[in-house]
Amino acid sequence: MTALTLHPDRLFAAEPQQRDIARRLYARIKDLPIVSPHGHTDPRWFADNQNWDNATSLLLLPDHYVFRMLYSQGITLEQLGIRRKDGVAVETDYRKIFRLFASHYQLFRGTPSRIWLDSVFHDVFGLRVALSADTADHYYDSINEQLQTDAFKPRALLDRFNIEVIATTEGALNDLKHHAKLKGSGFEKRVITTFRPDDVIDADRADFAANVRKLGELTGEDTSTWPGYLQALRQRRAFFREHGATATDHGHPSALTADLPAIEAAALFARCLSGEASTAETELFRGQMLTEMAGMSLQDGMTMQIHPGAHRNHNQLIFERFGADKGADIPSPTEYVQALKPLLQKYGNESKLNIILFTLDETSYARELAPLAGHYPALKLGPAWWFHDSPEGMLRFRHQVTETAGFYNTCGFNDDTRAFLSIPARHDVARRIDCRFLAQLVAEHRLHEDEAHQLAYDLTYRLAKQAYQL
């Protein structure tokens, strides 16, 4: 059997001088607390603090990085136990599913998923042989046995992983009952929510009108009117802040923003609510709402995150059978300079406003995003994200944005994950890559090593806390 080992110099440069510098930088920051300000872990885990059932339901079923790769090689989602919307039977033998995954583990060679998974197997579960078809049962039994212990309850793992704060993400209509349950437990300030209002802002959704009505029922506002709708959103933001939220999150297809006169905005809202709006009008409405949300963030102090550029549910068959978030979201080209101008003309010069902009379009880093963030006080750049949350993606990000935006117009790292046990591994990759990048600057005499140590600390810890007001 092949041994499972993690090299202490992994992800550092092969060049000896740079590697030595990276080692010194990393030694100072590797054990800093984890700040996880944006993600999609289930708040129920931390509220109920119950043991997970098995390795498959914890490690495989929530992780679209895993099953999208397997699906690409001809393994059906039914074989992986992903539930169908129509109730058609899928595989329910979790051991069989884990064996299937293990027998195809070679597919993940060279991917960030391989780095994360090997780190989880080695560091979290103490496994010392590589995963394969031959070791699948050993893995499954060992992991399941450990998962039943008190040491593997979610709150215990928060402590073990040294997670200082973790933010989940909930829609505007969510009752936040799991976050409410955390109050008085001592964990309510460590597990916080994030306000994501796409369900009541995206007029292309089939349930948009019904969601807006529900918004009115929850708030007591007349959401059939433009003023009532906006006031209802302010109420929900306040409700989320009561449950720890310091940020909002907006997952729009594009970065388009708008600043319409109130009478035009009201008329556009009415058309969207009636279901008569064209595709161009629903896009314009999303753009108007980004500007409205920025204004509300300036009022209530919540950090605003904008995540544009994903073509959601590209595989229609998978969407119809299994629903959203099944690995079929694809990056799309995204324009920012003209798209963001209405919002930035209105609010971009406000130093008290925090807008964090993410992208899936790497071609925009040096051309658009870094110059924008390097000028507007309200704007910061989120880290390499989603498909680019990888060693190479992180290096491309630093190389392309630093010369124009610097380090301090970025906001550290966030893991954006549903896979709770991978969080330490993901943050470790980011810490190693940042140390590698800084080491090159030091070796080339572009940065003093004492400055690099300060930067390593800031990129690992301080900038995330500052950007998300934690």
Residues 85 and 194 occupy one common structural domain = no
What does the alpha-carbon distance between residue 64 and residue 463 come to, in Å, rounded to a whole number? 28
Q: The dihedral of CA 98, 100, 101, 104: what is its sign? A: positive
Q: Is there a domain that residue 283 lies in? A: yes
Residues 105 and 218 occupy one common structural domain = no
DSSP structure class, residue 167: E
**Which of 128, 151, 174 marks a domain boundary?**
151
Residues 292 and 389 occupy one common structural domain = yes
What was the pLDDT predicted at 257? 98
Q: What is the CATH number of the domain that holds 115?
A: 1.10.2020.10
Which residues, in sequence order, are CB contacts of 354 under 8 Å at separation 6+? 297, 303, 304, 378, 380, 467, 469
What was the pLDDT predicted at 167? 98
Q: Is there a domain that residue 300 lies in? A: yes
Q: Is there a domain that residue 204 lies in? A: yes
Please choose, from the candidates 118, 112, 117, 105, the residue with its C-alpha nearest in 3D space to the C-alpha of residue 70: 105
Q: Is there a domain that residue 10 lies in? A: no
What was the pLDDT predicted at 1? 85
Residues 365 and 454 occupy one common structural domain = yes
What does the alpha-carbon distance between residue 112 and residue 188 come to, in Å, rounded to a whole number? 31
What does the alpha-carbon distance between residue 179 and residue 188 come to, in Å, rounded to a whole number? 7
Residues 140 and 231 occupy one common structural domain = no
Give the residue numbers spanning the domain of 95: 52-151
Q: How far is CA 335 from CA 59, 234, 248, 306, 348, in A?
A: 35, 29, 22, 13, 17
In the chain, the number of structural domains is 2
**Which of 120, 151, 182 marks a domain boundary?**
151
Taking the whole predicted model, whether its pTM rises above 0.85 is answered as yes
Which residues, in sequence order, are CB contacts of 42 under 8 Å at separation 6+? 62, 168, 178, 418
Q: Are 272 and 203 in contact (CB under 8 A)?
A: yes
Residues 32 and 105 occupy one common structural domain = no
Q: Secondary structure of 407-456 in the HEC alphabet?
A: CCCECCCCCCCCCHHHHHHHHHHHHHHHHHHHHHHHHCCCCCHHHHHHHH
Residues 264 and 280 occupy one common structural domain = yes
pLDDT tens string for the chain (470 positions)?
899 999 999 999 999 999 999 999 999 999 999 999 999 999 999 999 999 999 999 999 989 899 899 999 999 999 999 999 999 999 999 999 999 999 999 999 999 999 999 999 999 999 999 999 999 999 999 999 999 999 999 999 999 999 999 999 999 999 999 999 999 999 999 999 999 999 999 999 999 999 999 999 999 999 999 999 999 999 999 999 999 999 999 999 999 999 999 999 999 999 999 999 999 999 999 999 999 999 999 999 999 999 999 999 999 999 999 999 899 999 999 999 999 999 999 999 999 999 999 999 999 999 999 999 999 999 999 999 999 999 999 999 999 999 999 999 999 999 999 999 999 999 999 999 999 999 999 999 999 999 999 999 999 999 999 999 99
Q: At what angle do helices 262-274 and 279-300 cross, to 10 degrees?
A: 120
What was the pLDDT predicted at 153? 98
Residues 209 and 84 occupy one common structural domain = no
Residues 236 and 380 occupy one common structural domain = yes
Q: Is there a domain that residue 1 lies in? A: no
Q: Is there a domain that residue 120 lies in? A: yes
Residues 211 and 353 occupy one common structural domain = yes
Q: Is there a domain that residue 31 lies in? A: yes
Q: Which two tokens stand for residue 304?
A: 């605003």
Q: What is the CATH number of the domain that holds 268?
A: 3.20.20.140
Residues 136 and 160 occupy one common structural domain = no
Q: Is there a domain that residue 9 lies in? A: no
**Which of 96, 121, 151 marks a domain boundary?**
151
Which residues, in sequence order, are CB contacts of 314 under 8 Å at separation 6+? 328, 329, 330
Residues 196 and 244 occupy one common structural domain = yes
